[in-house]
Every structure is written in C-alpha cells, then in structure tokens.
Chain A
C-alpha cells in the first residue's frame, strides 16, 4: 500500500543508522512527534537530544517522517502487520521497529480521535442548563402567571444558544430528543 511518500521512507531509512540517530534519540523523537500532534506540546518546541549522539539535521528529517507515518497509519487504521511491512521497507532495525509499533498502538486511538475533529462541522452541543421561572407580570400585562423555562444550549466553540419555552414546548423538545436517542440505540444494535 502506497500511503506514505518516498521522502518519508527515505527519512526513516536514515533513522536506522545508529551513527546518525541513536536508538534512544529515535524513541525521544517518536514520543515528541506524537505529543506534538496531539497538541500536548507546542508546535515550535524541539525535542531535547543534547545527551544523545545525534546529527541534528537528520533528527529534523526523522521527526517529520515519523510524524507523517504516524498520522497516515492512524488515518488508514493500519494493523500491526501492515505497519510492519512499511517499517521493513525503511530498513529499520528490530529495536526501532518495535519502538515505533509500540508508540503507534499506544497513541492510535488518541490520534484517530484528533483526526476525527479535523474539518468543518456544526458546533457540538456539549451541555445544557435550565431555569424555571414563574412569570407574574410585565409592563404590558398584569397577572401573567405562567411557568416558563429558559434553556441554554452550550456549544464547544464557547458560544451558547438561549431560548425560552413553556412546559408543553419543553415536553415536545424532550420527546424529540428521546426519539433521536432511541434511533441511535436501535442503530447501534445493527
């Protein structure tokens, strides 16, 4: 499967050379690459390789290649054997192969979760708040005496949608949400 460009394979091939990148440095680079993609480390932060015997320009190329392979493998949901074949193509020694495969298995779900959030979509509804008021009067009408709900729909973009509804309208709203939940439950059993 041709899922990674040649330049990436070549970048990884360099990592197999112990004189350029030590085994320990390779592990540091893998961990750093994964954490950067997951957003746990700032993008301009560089891995600390001062204690390792490492060619810095190769380390950079290696970092880029590792990042691309991790992302492409997660994107295609590659299984271990498929990944193994690609790593064989790069001519990586057994120890480096294992280090990569270990990190891939460890971070795969997180990486896929991160990738699923890429792209344009409607804001996510993440929480809801409510308030129940008894309307007594206002400047237009004395004696309103009606129950009223105020609902705040919280979205993950920090915005919220506020609306008011009567008891009947809230019953309608909850009924429809329950319908959707049931449809979801039925679908999950297929």
Chain B
C-alpha cells in the first residue's frame, strides 16, 4: 500500500527532499515529539535562525512531516510500504531510511495517540467498592441493611472523574450476572466469525 498525500502536503515536504541527512533526522524527531506533546513554536524560530531560512519554511516542513507520520500511522503502514512511499515521493535513499527508522520506532505510540483523539464516551479506568451494614439512621433505628458503595473511576478525554453510587445485594448480583453475560457473548460464533473475517 502506498501513502497518498495532498498536493499541499507534498509542497510542505519540498524543503526536506534534498536536505542533509542529519537535518532530516532532527526534523523527524521534532515532529514526532510535537505529535506526542503538541507544537512548540519557539523551536521553529530557533531552527530558522540557525539554518538562516524563513521561519515559515521550517514550520511547514515540520507540519508536513507530522502529517506524513500521522497519515502513515492512520493507515497502519508497514515499514517497507512506508519506505517505498518515501522513495515514490522522491526522497533520497538515505533520507527515506532515516525517516523509516523514526517511523518504525514510533508508529505504535502515534497510533495510540490518534486512538485517543477518536470520538468516544468516557472510558472505564477502575472500580473501588466498600461493603457496609447500616445499623441505624435518624428515621430508622435497629436495622441491618447491607449496602455496597461503588466508586467508578472514569476518564473523559484528559479529564478524569469519579462516579459514586450504591447498590443492594439483589442489584449487585443482577448487575454482575448481566455483565458476565456480556463477556460470554465474546465466545459466541457470531462474534468470533465477524472478528475473524474483518482482520
């Protein structure tokens, strides 16, 4: 599979096509770093001064590389496909190799970062529970009411939150059984067939 980039993106990469190897290496690591932690504009300025080129060219080159890496990760490109794509994009052999090395080291992490950006409901992190027996309240003395407190840890994007609820024995057993059924469903022929077919 070959990587397809937009003409605009190809233009951004122009500057790097004939650049020296160590520059490609440097730009490559910077763009991977930016993919993980966000863009830091100070670095553009410093690089522009050092290389004595317009800051816009540097910025476009780095963003071009970020797009290149993320497109490749999005499509789950294997190492050789990535290398061949670079050659097709008229990168020199050494530059293609350098970028390919960076890509294979980071493609898993990049995919992970991309996966986090996908639209999603809050994600389950952890569950804490506590078992109490309520003995008395202001309105009811002499009771013996079992009570299970559940604290769900959930992350929604970058923000993590907790949801506290309580439940009684009947509902706890019911909930556990329903969710066990959900797990059992994984073993069904239907699910197994679909997962096997769409690999």
Size range of the chain A interface in the assembly: 35 or more
Q: Is the C-beta of B56 less than 8 angstroms from some C-beta in chain A?
A: no
Quick one: which of B142-158 are within 8 Å of A by CB? Answer: 142-143, 145-146, 148-150, 152, 154
If over half of B's interface residues share one DSSP class (helix, strand or loop), that class is named, otherwise mixed; here it is mixed
Task: Give Cα A82 to B145, complex, Å.
Answer: 24
Q: Is the C-beta of B176 less than 8 angstroms from some C-beta in chain A?
A: yes
Is the CB–CB distance between A122 and B164 below 8 Å? yes
Is the CB–CB distance between B179 and A115 below 8 Å? no
Task: Give Cα A187 to B147, complex, Å.
Answer: 11
Q: Is the C-beta of A184 less than 8 angstroms from some C-beta in chain B?
A: yes
Task: Give Cα A164 to B126, complex, Å.
Answer: 12
Q: A112-B143, A147-B195 are known contacts. Are A122 and B149 too (CB-CB below 8 A)?
A: yes
Is the CB–CB distance between A115 and B171 below 8 Å? no
Quick one: which of B122-157 are within 8 Å of A by CB? Answer: 122-124, 126-127, 129, 131, 133-134, 137-143, 145-146, 148-150, 152, 154
Q: A142-B74, A142-B76 are known contacts. Are A124 and B140 too (CB-CB below 8 A)?
A: no
Is the CB–CB distance between A136 and B195 below 8 Å? no
Task: Give Cα A144 to B111, complex, Å.
Answer: 9
Instruction: Kindly list chain B residues whose C-beta atoms are within 8 Å of the C-beta of A51.
Output: none
Instruction: Kindly list chain A residues whose C-beta atoms are within 8 Å of the C-beta of B114.
Output: 140-141
Q: A122-B149, A174-B179 are known contacts. Are A181 and B124 too (CB-CB below 8 A)?
A: no
Task: Give Cα A180 to B154, complex, Å.
Answer: 19
Quick one: which of A112-161 are within 8 Å of B by CB? Answer: 112, 115-116, 118-119, 121-130, 132, 134, 136, 138-145, 147, 149-151, 153, 155, 161
Q: List 19 A-B contacts (CB under 8 A).
A: A121-B166, A122-B149, A122-B164, A122-B165, A125-B166, A127-B171, A128-B179, A129-B178, A138-B119, A141-B114, A143-B76, A144-B118, A161-B152, A164-B122, A167-B186, A172-B127, A173-B127, A180-B150, A184-B169
